[in-house]
Amino acid sequence: MKHESTSSSGMLLGMAAGAALGAVGVMAATQNQRQLRRTTRKVMKGAENAVLQLDKMVGDFVEKHME
């Protein structure tokens, strides 16, 4: 069961990173370099927080159902 949560977390991390990079790519065409760096940091921080929350949820789910 632990293997499933690890692979799910990896997939979610990839999805979050892809979404972040896609958003940055779209914004690159319309914003200057300083705004782009600032936006990139915000998007990556949001993606990181989402992945951490999802990882915690998966861990809690697995722990609850292992009992």
Closest C-alpha among 17, 10, 13 to residue 43: 17
What's the pLDDT tens digit per position in 5-43? 556 666 666 777 777 777 666 666 666 778 878 888 888
How high is the pLDDT of residue 43?
86
**In which residue are the tokens 């292992």 written?**
66
Record the pTM: 0.50
Alpha helices in 1-67 (DSSP H): 2-28, 33-66
Q: What is the dihedral of CA 24, 43, 38, 26, to 10 degrees?
A: 20
The total of structural domains in the chain comes to: 1
How high is the pLDDT of residue 46?
87
Range of the domain at 13: 2-66
